[in-house]
């Protein structure tokens, strides 16, 4: 069924609820994460203390993280550089190229990697079609950039359908 390509494997309210120990139990060694409205609000330039801790906790447990964003170099670099987190910008998700590049950068296999994001059309669909385990998070902010606003409408319709079918249940 076509719509299932947009269905995440798991849903959580925040990336902060993603625990490196649980990932490791499932053989996960790496994270490919979206930036805007997944890690922080799309218009927030840098990471708040809790998120910095989350990155440190991942590092402590040997979980590698790469930020893969469709946004501009300036936006992604400004956020990621102070954290020392590798990143790819203008990734053109849902296309698979940036995901493959991130795997190469981290030297891991896709079976060992989760894709995290707040959008069904780019993050989840992109991750699914490239064969990753996908985790959807609730968008950090309700507002969006221009292109995303357009996608959100379609997304809301799909979400409604998934909920009706009982496919979508938010976990803490």
Write out the residues near Mg ion by the rule CB under 5 A.
34, 36-38, 118
Question: How many whole angstroms separate alpha carbon 154 and alpha carbon 9?
Answer: 19
Question: How many whole angstroms separate alpha carbon 115 and alpha carbon 35?
Answer: 12
Residue (29 or 70) nearer to Mg ion, CB: 70
Residue (67 or 83) nearer to Mg ion, CB: 67
Residue 49 C-alpha from the chain's centroid: 19
Q: Minimum distance between the CB of residue 166 and Mg ion, rounded to whole angstroms?
A: 25
Question: How many whole angstroms separate alpha carbon 110 and alpha carbon 19?
Answer: 19
Ranges of beta strands (E only) in the chain are 10-12, 30-33, 64-68, 87-88, 113-117, 133-137
Q: Minimum distance between the CB of residue 101 and Mg ion, rounded to whole angstroms?
A: 18
Residue (29 or 55) nearer to Mg ion, CB: 55
Residue (38 or 113) nearer to Mg ion, CB: 38
Q: What is the DSSP letter of 27?
A: T
Q: Minimum distance between the CB of residue 117 and Mg ion, rounded to whole angstroms?
A: 6
Q: Minimum distance between the CB of residue 37 and Mg ion, rounded to whole angstroms?
A: 4
């Amino acid at each position: 069924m076509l719509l299932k390509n947009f269905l995440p494997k798991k849903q959580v309210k925040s990336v902060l609820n993603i625990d490196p120990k649980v990932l490791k139990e499932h053989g996960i060694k790496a994270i490919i994460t979206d930036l805007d409205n997944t890690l922080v609000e799309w218009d927030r330039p840098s990471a708040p203390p809790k998120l910095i801790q989350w990155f440190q906790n991942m590092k402590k447990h040997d979980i590698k993280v790469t930020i893969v964003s469709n946004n501009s170099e300036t936006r992604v670099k400004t956020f990621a550089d102070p954290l020392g987190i590798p990143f790819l910008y203008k990734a053109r998700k849902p296309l698979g190229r940036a995901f493959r590049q991130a795997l190469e950068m981290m030297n891991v296999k896709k079976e060992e990697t989760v894709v995290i994001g707040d959008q069904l059309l780019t993050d989840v669909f992109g991750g699914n079609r490239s064969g990753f385990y996908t985790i959807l998070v609730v968008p950090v902010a309700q507002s969006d950039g221009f292109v995303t606003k357009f996608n959100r409408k379609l997304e809301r319709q799909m979400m409604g359908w998934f909920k009706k079918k009982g496919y979508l249940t938010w976990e803490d």
